[in-house]
Amino acid sequence: MKIINATLRKTPGLHTVMCEGEHISAITLQSAHVPPQAGDIDAQGQLLIAPFVEPHIHLDAALTAGQPEWNLSGTLFEGIERWAQRKETITHEDTKQRAHTTLRMLAEHGIQHVRTHVDVTDPTLAALRAMIEVREETRHLINLQIVAFPQEDIESYAGGRELMTLAVELGADVVGGIPHFENTREQGVSSIKFLMDLAERTGCLVDVHCDETDDPHSRFLEVLAEEARVRGMGSRVTASHTTAMGSYDNAYCSKLFRLLKASGINFVSCPTESIHLQGRFDTFPKRRGVTRVAELDRAGMNVCFGQDSIKDPWYPLGNGNILRVLDAGLHICHMMGFEDLARSLDLVTDNSARTLDLGERYGIAVGRPANMLVLDAESDYEAVRRQAKARVSIRGGKVLMTRVPERVEFS
């Protein structure tokens, strides 16, 4: 396979990218636009990028909004209650079917790597067992990482530690946590020590729902970062949400940032989700309830954007389009300066791939898997402004999907 007339991010000129089998075999700079020959994919000067990444979604809960009741307060806590009701009725087939439908939506939007949290506070682990099958059944579309996520806590839930351990034995890739939701601060701290031990022992990655609250006293991030630093595990550890950081005062944050940087951990922000769920206990002025994305980024830390939900008890909208989240996130996080816009796709591609620890399994470079998108835009700026879609999605050196651009005709 050969892709011609491609614009690569951060590299001037038009390029030809050759694939052999499932890998990229050559990348050459063209001296001019070249005419297509039979079988070539002509990027027509538009961006050829590594696939979009979804670093944070809850596939087990997707498409269950309103079942059996809607979240009327819009809080995280009512979401957890509504989900506990729906969880009683989940089945293996129901979970698989909703996960397959949702993954297809993600693939349609050019996503080829997904990290999903799956609730393991269920004595039967029904959703986890289903998702492990889905991970195999969807390999042609995407690579799926499964997080053992203790939605109703590790320490405050009966058998929580055993369920986490069993989930990893059954094949979870990543260890999760939710320290801010444990009954006490001490349980939050001990849940982090437990989950870091589990990950270190088993070689799993770590992704913790951490301080997803507007409570400025929720300070589990420092505990997670220090555990990661001391164990030398930073690049394998992610703190998701960290919305309390939007409420920390600057004096504390300036000390915290020193530790965060030394730890080398990754950050995921879900800006559409957080702008919806947080700020719910404020009147006016009302907090944005989102972590310090621009500040983390400017301090040289790795931060990316995720969707979190599609039509679930926490969030009623969503459609798989990560550029919608990028658009909203850039607004919410005050990242609309030209320099931010001009590299905005980092937040949904390279930074997310680093969070997922994909290493050489990701990126447009010789020897790496031939997974790529031709986007309907010539720059990051235009891609986010126009909510550009993937025209072609290439996976393993073959065309996975093509999109016929919509045509508008005035009469």
| Residues making contact with ligand 17E (CB under 6 A) | 58, 76, 151, 178, 209, 212, 273, 308-309, 314
212 is an active site residue: yes
Site string for Fe ion, 296-335 (x = CB under 5 A): ------------x---------------------------
Name the closest residue to Fe ion (Cβ): 308
Provide, rounded to whole angstroms, the least separation between the CB of residue 275 and ligand 17E.
12
Provide, rounded to whole angstroms, the least separation between the CB of residue 364 and ligand 17E.
32
| CA 143/CA 113 separation, integer angstroms | 5
Of 184 and 402, nearer to ligand 17E (C-beta) is 184
Site string for Fe ion, 91-130 (x = CB under 5 A): ----------------------------------------
Of 178 and 237, nearer to ligand 17E (C-beta) is 178
- Asked whether 260 and 301 are in contact (CB, 8 A), the reply is yes
Q: 305 is in the binding site of which of ligand 17E, Fe ion, none (Cβ under 5 to 8 A by kind)?
A: none
Strands 266-269 and 237-241: parallel
Residue type, 228: A
Q: 76 is in the binding site of which of Fe ion, ligand 17E, none (Cβ under 5 to 8 A by kind)?
A: ligand 17E
Of 9 and 209, nearer to ligand 17E (C-beta) is 209
Of 308 and 350, nearer to Fe ion (C-beta) is 308
Name the closest residue to ligand 17E (Cβ): 314
Provide, rounded to whole angstroms, the least separation between the CB of residue 152 and ligand 17E.
9
Tokens of 208: 């913790």
Q: 212 is in the binding site of which of ligand 17E, Fe ion, none (Cβ under 5 to 8 A by kind)?
A: ligand 17E
> Which member of 152, 155, 212, 227 is catalytic?
212
Give the residue from 58, 114, 113 showing the smallest Cα distance to 90: 58
Of 302 and 309, nearer to ligand 17E (C-beta) is 309
Q: 309 is in the binding site of which of ligand 17E, Fe ion, none (Cβ under 5 to 8 A by kind)?
A: ligand 17E
Provide, rounded to whole angstroms, the least separation between the CB of residue 71 and ligand 17E.
10
Provide, rounded to whole angstroms, the least separation between the CB of residue 186 and ligand 17E.
20
Q: 106 is in the binding site of which of ligand 17E, Fe ion, none (Cβ under 5 to 8 A by kind)?
A: none
Of 213 and 266, nearer to ligand 17E (C-beta) is 213
Provide, rounded to whole angstroms, the least separation between the CB of residue 117 and ligand 17E.
7
The residues of the shown chain that bind Fe ion, judged by CB under 5 A, are 308
As annotated, the active-site residues are 212
